[in-house]
Amino acid sequence: MTLNREVALKVSNLSVTYQTSRGPAPVVHDVSFSLARGETLAIVGESGSGKSTMAMATAGLLPDQAHVTGTVALDGVDIVGQSKRVLEDIRGSAVAVIFQNPMTSLNPTMRVGDQIAEQLIRHKAMKRAVARNRSLELLREVMINDPEGVYRKYPHQLSGGMKQRVMIAMAVSCEPKVLIADEPTTALDVTVQAEILQIMRALSREHSMGLLLVTHDMGVVAEMATHVAVVYDGRFVEYAPAADLFTDPLHPYTQGLLHSQPRIDDPEARHRRLATIPRPAPMLEHLEHGYEVRSEEQEKTLRPGHNPDSRFVRLNDNFSPVVREGSTV
């Protein structure tokens, strides 16, 4: 940690519970972390682990049936419990989001250039002509060769990679301090994925943004992240600098994630089956009444100098699960 670390996002004791027809379903449990400008924190875990819910909570984008507790401070302002009008002012200027599928995020009835300009008019109070010129500059920044032509197109006239570039241009248009990218390259082929990651990395540095990256792709994490938070069952089970996590993963779940990745640099890998994680993340209905895992020895391991909330329990061979009535593990 540097002395000049400027914290753009500070999350403390964040918990999220969805109200369902069967009762409350907790999905995020007492999560704390911070993100400085210029840093990239990757939140990784399997599908259903709660990583996207964590990310959307930091932008105030959860549905009404989600009950959020704790604090989410964006540039020093706690957004938990704020009105929709306040959140609309914060989103775009303090925090912006790049979603997984740009086709469902862009307005199909508006030209893409007008959608970027609309952000600038709304949050920067720019005149329409000025907003148009700035939108063209942003399209150039995301490596679009024909910004004038793309500006006039509708979303359905663009490829998936081009639409995602437009989404990135829109997200950074108001120079937010925090950029949230929720699986931004999942729907793209490998070549386009590399280009999108390159654009995000360059813009994050140029605009000094904190980047919160949600993904299950450990290759993307290795390329992009400065720090990594591993999520399981809505909790951080390990938090570390990216280099440390890949060379010395401490938690068994982190080790399982890494061992489940195909390796092309190991000649013997083609003869081995990929590792699997025996127990998938529980479904929400299985968590309604909670469950716990106990062991005779519980070792709390914390990497020196890192987030004090990044502790986990390492279980030995004699652990005994305690499953409450009505729950499934």
Spell out the domain ranges in the chain: 7-94+177-275, 104-175
- Structure-block tokens of residue 201: 């990395």
pTM to 2 decimal places: 0.81
Q: Which residues, listed in sequence order, are joined to residue 18 by a DSSP beta bridge?
A: 25, 66
Nearest alpha carbon to residue 280 among 43, 28, 49, 51? 49
User: Which residues does 106 contact at the CB level (< 8 Å), separation at least 6?
Assistant: 112, 115, 155, 163, 166, 167
pLDDT band of 48, cuts 50, 70, 90: confident
**HSE on the CB side for 299, CA within 13 Å?**
9
Q: How far is 56 from 309, CA to CA, in rounded Å?
A: 20
Mean pLDDT of 218-239: 92
* Architecture in CATH for domain 7-94+177-275: 3-Layer(aba) Sandwich (3.40)
**pLDDT tens string 164-221:** 999 999 999 999 999 999 998 887 888 888 899 999 999 998 889 999 999 988 888 9
Nearest alpha carbon to residue 234 among 24, 61, 46, 58? 46
pLDDT band of 8, cuts 50, 70, 90: very high
- Structure-block tokens of residue 220: 């993307």
In the chain, the percentage of residues whose pLDDT exceeds 90 is 56
Which of the two residues, 217 and 2, has the higher pLDDT score? 217
Encode 19-39: b = buried (16+ Cβ within 10 Å), e = exposed.
eeeeeebbbbbebbbbbbbbb
- Determine the residue type at 87: L
- Structure-block tokens of residue 142: 């995301």
Cα 268 to Cα 222, 238, 261, distances in angstroms: 22, 29, 14
Query: What is the average pLDDT value for the chain, to the nearest integer?
Result: 83
Question: What is the DSSP code (8-state) at residue 158?
Answer: S
Q: How far is 205 from 198, CA to CA, in rounded Å?
A: 11
Check whether 317 has a pLDDT greater than 90: no
- Structure-block tokens of residue 43: 């939140």
Q: How far is 226 from 311, CA to CA, in rounded Å?
A: 19
Q: How far is 200 from 181, CA to CA, in rounded Å?
A: 9
Question: Which alpha helices (H) appear in the chain, and where do they start and end?
Answer: 51-58, 84-90, 102-105, 112-124, 128-141, 147-151, 160-172, 190-206, 218-224, 242-247, 252-259
